[in-house]
Structure 1
């Protein structure tokens, strides 16, 4: 038993099993067209299932933090059940050609599993890796980023052959794929649930967990600053990533699949690199400054060569890789930064609340670039808008996210501590 009672078996492996499962939500683009064709719907109608899933992910994390804080075994099991039920349900409702059913199963049910599952391993990892919190969260969240790279070949295989027009030869493969994946991820997430365990001797400080004040958090300037810069980073990342295929086609680069795999690797690599780099820095907020400034520099370098019209292809690919790395690094650097500012005791709760930014960004990121393109018919203008937002995020990181540690426990909690001390004196 001692052989498996260590940080790799009790924290890293279960975190990867859970995150590599739920991270497949980002494979949506591989089969959304097939769902639309089978159901006789437009891609735009079907696309809402993904937007709902990301929104519910963020909101279930925002309001499920206290539940995760109290019992990681219940939360990991609940995550697996919701995620797997949502995936199997999606297959069933595709078969029934029910768009509302797909919205509910893929968007709401699976979204709840995503939000709870995303939060569940984070605090456990930071407890096991007390001196390397960034590396720990980076390893887990990298699984979320790598899920697309790992699952995409399997999904392509399960979908089967296509005709000359790119339509599936056997349309029933689309819902069968969801049933098979549901079975695979049930096994993976259940193993993760069984293995996940906090270090021996650690006990939850239930008073702090119960008395965490959402009101104090939402009024705190540092938390607001972190929320805003996290929101902007996701919005900018999604705005560019959603146009990746169109931008490459615009500059005449044909190996789009190769670049997609490359940017996915940078996305996952950025999650480990930036968060582990934060372990070596005095202030983890510096990581966000590096992410924003490097992103702005990449945009400027591309624009110097007269925008996308005459840019060297390698510069455009480098820009996409840098933005993807910063996008991933923003996610993995968030929990350690929140821990530094607000303490580890209520990290699942405050982390969940911060992830509400992901919910809102999931609805605005893709739409931002689509709106700019619709109004200007210019990919260059998309670059200018995103670069401007990164500049705003840089200012927020410098002036609003203060280095001081803040308490987000309510006065009721403080009164309980005072009463305990009085009792001790008596």
Structure 2
């Protein structure tokens, strides 16, 4: 037991962070997407597919990588490192060659596979090492994924300003290669754990036939779609709100951008803190609740409330700004919490032995949300009747989706309670 306590940090938590912090930089996309578009003389909308493809390949590779992670955690850590680093560096090469399809292939497909395999790799390992606090353990590790944006965004901005966009990709690829390789060397299962195909393998068809799985999948998908829709537009939402302030109203676009750059940077940094806090806080809360679905209900009710607050705050100026900030920060916290609580929710319904497979399958929701979240936001904004406040049109759509997610997870909880009651009656 002493050895178990001493080693779980170096065998589970530290390697999880060393893997998740590099791959979490996928959320720094907004730092350089416009620069890529300018460099390649492409429209921002076309370049945006690089991010969408990265999230799609993340989810789909996770869906298929579950059995590999169950069987050989070292192999999955190595595959993640190679794909992520090659894809990240390859993006720099593609930009240098002015080859937009290369960005889609490297950043979207190759790096996306590294993201999915790497995201999945540490999760079950943490649940094995921290059996009594599964939510806390997965929350801390997955927090690394959310914290990456706060760490890497200013670093990327600095490197782009000093060595240029292409060199930034090469330098960080080398840094991330070292971090992920150390994670690969450190990560290992608890002593005495042995892979047993008879108990660890579960048919994907069996999982996909269960209504509970689809209830969780829908709720998870909607949470990501809404989160990505806001994340992809948050700079523009803040621009709309701040432009109404008297001190900014008459400034030229260039002077306005310069005047608010510090505010935008601060908001994005705080955003990342809330995302990270949500990952740790909500997953830790789940350890103290009878039903893990309750956490998702709290997330969705909170998200609906702050969206409604923004919708019904009709005034401009400070009141509207604070309502928008509350919405961005708390929806981001719920977005992060949805990720960190998912493994323990699946553990509750399907068991720890097959959690890598069920977790991977559920992460396919992330793949489809990666395609729909940004595109949904762009569609709603482009077709808003009031183009002067076009980003406000997105909020009622997101609110409605959160209501659907709340209904879905409540049905999952109902089915779970009914199954528990039936099991007690059968034993009686």
* Alignment partner, residue 174 of structure 1: 165
Q: Do structure 1's residue 151 and structure 2's residue 152 form an aligned pair?
A: yes
How far apart are 1:234 and its partner, in Å? Answer: 0.5
The 5 A counterparts of 1:217-256 are 217-252=207-242, 254=260, 255-256=263-264
Question: Do the aligned residues in 1 keep the contact of 2:58 with 2:114 (CA within 8 Å)?
Answer: yes
The 5 A counterparts of 1:117-196 are 117-160=118-161, 173-196=164-187
Q: Distance in 2 between matches of 1:84 and 1:202?
A: 30
* Alignment partner, residue 348 of structure 2: 340
Q: Distance in 2 between matches of 1:381 and 1:326?
A: 21
Change (3 A) 1:404 1:219: farther
* Alignment partner, residue 191 of structure 2: 200
Question: In structure 1, the residue corresponding to 2:353 is in which secondary structure?
Answer: coil
* Alignment partner, residue 291 of structure 2: 283
Q: Give the alignment's Cα RMSD to 1 decimal.
A: 1.9
Compare 378-387 and 66-75 and name the one that shifted more: 378-387
Question: Do the aligned residues in 2 keep the contact of 1:35 with 1:46 (CA within 8 Å)?
Answer: yes
Question: Do the aligned residues in 2 keep the contact of 1:263 with 1:320 (CA within 8 Å)?
Answer: yes
Over residues 340-362 of structure 1, what are the superposed CA-to-partner deviations in whole Å (9 max), with x where a residue is unaligned? 11000011111000000000000
How far apart are 1:304 and its partner, in Å? Answer: 2.7
Change (3 A) 1:82 1:5: farther
How far apart are 1:311 and its partner, in Å? Answer: 4.2
Q: Do structure 1's residue 395 and structure 2's residue 407 form an aligned pair?
A: yes
Q: Distance in 1 between matches of 2:311 and 2:318?
A: 9
Gaps (5+ residues) in structure 1? Answer: 162-169, 407-426
Q: Which 4+ runs in 1 deviate beyond 4 A?
A: 1-5, 307-311
* Alignment partner, residue 166 of structure 1: none
Over residues 19-75 of structure 1, what are the superposed CA-to-partner deviations in whole Å (9 max), with x where a residue is unaligned? 001001111111112222222222222221111111000000001111111000011
Question: In structure 2, the residue corresponding to 1:204 is in which secondary structure?
Answer: coil
How far apart are 1:366 and its partner, in Å? Answer: 1.2
Q: Distance in 1 between matches of 2:89 and 2:317?
A: 45
Q: Distance in 1 between matches of 2:356 and 2:188?
A: 15
The 5 A counterparts of 1:252-267 are 252=242, 254=260, 255-267=263-275
Question: Do the aligned residues in 1 keep the contact of 2:126 with 2:137 (CA within 8 Å)?
Answer: yes
Q: Do structure 1's residue 375 and structure 2's residue 383 form an aligned pair?
A: yes
Gaps (5+ residues) in structure 2? Answer: 244-259, 420-428
Q: Size of the alignment, in residue pairs?
A: 395
* Alignment partner, residue 74 of structure 2: 73
How far apart are 1:384 and its partner, in Å? Answer: 0.9
Change (3 A) 1:303 1:43: closer
Compare 295-304 and 313-322 and name the one that shifted more: 295-304
Over residues 256-301 of structure 1, what are the superposed CA-to-partner deviations in whole Å (9 max), with x where a residue is unaligned? 1111111111001100000000000000000000000011111222
Q: Do structure 1's residue 319 and structure 2's residue 327 form an aligned pair?
A: yes
How far apart are 1:218 and its partner, in Å? Answer: 1.3
Question: In structure 2, the residue corresponding to 1:252 is in which secondary structure?
Answer: helix
Aligned with 2:357 (options 345, 349, 356): 349
Question: Do the aligned residues in 2 keep the contact of 1:338 with 1:350 (CA within 8 Å)?
Answer: yes
How far apart are 1:308 and its partner, in Å? Answer: 6.9
Q: Distance in 1 between matches of 2:50 and 2:265?
A: 24
More helix by share: 2
